[in-house]
Structure 1
Amino acid sequence: MSDSTPTFDPIVQSQASKEVTANAYFDAASPATIFGRRQSTTSGLTWGYYGGRWLVDSLLSIITNGTVTLTASTTNYVEATRAGVVSKNTTGFTPGSIPLYAVITGAATVTSYTDYRIPNYPVCGRTVKALSDANYTLTLGEALPQILEFTGALTAQRNITVPLGAQQWTVFNNTTGGFGLQFIGATGTGIVVGMGKRAIIYADGTNVVRVTADV
């Protein structure tokens, strides 16, 4: 957003062709609209969304505008894969997916919706996750920061499933109980980081590998 001194060209009440200025705003802000609700194609139980340019493993991909068919009289969880493929289910956001919207439907129409979209680029800061003594799959939002810390009391070694797209993290196994955490993708091989240890790990698209030894 602009500050009290705006950087945007203002729309003046008396000006002609206000739509030209407004459309220029929308054009400038269009990268932020990807996967956003597209009103012109949303009707009844059809949910429309905008496409745009999307980073898939550091490569720009073009996502086209599209629609998904919602299920009546329930909560629909609209989500996307890392490759930008949009779908919905009525159970909950899939671990590792990109949450988009939770859409509540009646018998024939949408009654309300909540926007869960997040940027798809690495962010500063860290994720701190308290484990419930079970394997865990990171959501895309949890995997975006490049520092990952895990707490909780473990009774066995647990798996932390990370996205397999090319990404590097500094991880800290700050759990108790004396057990390691295995960082692994949905497929391929992983590596174990001991309790109280830190390591730099890397997902290469197939496996999770260790960049540095535990410290």
Structure 2
Amino acid sequence: MASSSSNLVLLVQSQSGKEATANALWNSMSQAALFSRYSSSGLIWYYYGGTMIVDGVVTQIANNTSTGVTLSASATNYIEADRSGAVTKNTTGFTPGRIPLYTAVTNATSITSYTDCRAQWNPSGVAGKLARVMASDANITLTQDEANNDILQFTSSVSLTTTRNVVVPLAAQQWTVYNGTTGAQSLQFIGATGTGITVANGKRAIIYSDGTNVVRVTADA
């Protein structure tokens, strides 16, 4: 929200080319339109796309202005998005772990009212989860996109023969990690320098990087 003295370029009554100023201003706010209602026709709900983080990756969600989402007739529809950006509806309630968008009330043929339930675009309770399969009996280094996830889950397609390192960025960040690899070996979560934390096979832990080392918050007993 702008202050009483706005930093935005606003329309001036006497100016020419108001449409160019208005279009530029609206376009600068387009991120706020992610998943917003575009229009509706009968029981079909159309929405705008935009940019969101999908499991650590900056992803463009396309406008849906042609196929839409078909709502149920004579019901309250709960329109929501999952963490991949796919939009669906149900008539029960918002699904835990998904992004609430709108409720829409319908009669037999059309939408009679709707309520905007969008809150923010790093939604609380919708954590990114990495499911990484270790393809060889070797240390691995996470990419930035992989490390952007809050939950790091590791399995392996081979049997590990010794403790292997999972090298994470040392920027301040916290993760919940799970070692589900085969071979009954531990994983050590560590930065390119500094000390790390070892998580036993079959165990979970909450760890974080303090900028120098990877340290433990808590773990399974």
Judged with a 3 Å threshold, the aligned counterparts in structure 2 of structure 1 residues 87 and 203 are, in CA distance, closer, same or farther, namely: farther
* 8 Å Cα contact 2:54/2:128 also seen in 1: no
Structure 2 residue ranges without an equivalent (≥5): 131-148, 156-173, 181-201, 208-215
After superposition, the CA RMSD in angstroms is 2.8
C-alpha separation in 2, matches of 1:164 and 1:117: 22
Corresponding position of 1:197: none
Q: When the two structures are aligned, how many residues end up with a matched partner? A: 148
* 8 Å Cα contact 2:36/2:47 also seen in 1: yes
Offset of residue 163 of structure 1: 6.1
Offset of residue 16 of structure 1: 2.5
Match for 1:167: what amino acid? D
Judged with a 3 Å threshold, the aligned counterparts in structure 2 of structure 1 residues 203 and 48 are, in CA distance, closer, same or farther, namely: farther
Structure 1 outlier segments of 4+, above 4 Å: none
C-alpha separation in 2, matches of 1:203 and 1:57: 15
| Aligned positions of 1:131-150 closer than 5 A | 141=124, 143=125
Pair member with larger Rg = 2
C-alpha separation in 2, matches of 1:201 and 1:28: 33
Match for 1:81: what amino acid? D
After superposition, the C-alpha distances for 1:165-196 in whole angstroms (9 at most, x for unaligned) are 5216xxxxxxxxxxxxxxxx9xx9xxxxxxxx
Q: Percent identity?
A: 42
Match for 1:85: what amino acid? A
C-alpha separation in 2, matches of 1:108 and 1:95: 29
Corresponding position of 1:154: none
C-alpha separation in 2, matches of 1:163 and 1:60: 12
* 8 Å Cα contact 2:55/2:128 also seen in 1: no
Q: Secondary structure at the match of 1:3?
A: coil
Judged with a 3 Å threshold, the aligned counterparts in structure 2 of structure 1 residues 91 and 11 are, in CA distance, closer, same or farther, namely: same
Match for 1:55: what amino acid? I
C-alpha separation in 1, matches of 2:203 and 2:114: 36
C-alpha separation in 2, matches of 1:209 and 1:29: 41
C-alpha separation in 2, matches of 1:208 and 1:48: 44
Offset of residue 79 of structure 1: 0.5
Q: Secondary structure at the match of 1:119?
A: coil
C-alpha separation in 1, matches of 2:72 and 2:35: 19
Give the TM-score, by structure 1 length: 0.60
Match for 1:30: what amino acid? S
Offset of residue 78 of structure 1: 0.5
Offset of residue 43 of structure 1: 1.7
Judged with a 3 Å threshold, the aligned counterparts in structure 2 of structure 1 residues 53 and 214 are, in CA distance, closer, same or farther, namely: closer
C-alpha separation in 2, matches of 1:208 and 1:60: 30
Corresponding position of 2:84: 83
* 8 Å Cα contact 1:77/1:89 also seen in 2: yes
After superposition, the C-alpha distances for 1:110-158 in whole angstroms (9 at most, x for unaligned) are 111111113232xxxxxxxxxxxxxxxxxx53x26xxxxxxxxxxxxxx
Q: Secondary structure at the match of 1:38?
A: strand
Corresponding position of 2:100: 99
Q: Secondary structure at the match of 1:114?
A: strand
Match for 2:176: what amino acid? Y
Corresponding position of 2:71: 70
Offset of residue 56 of structure 1: 0.7
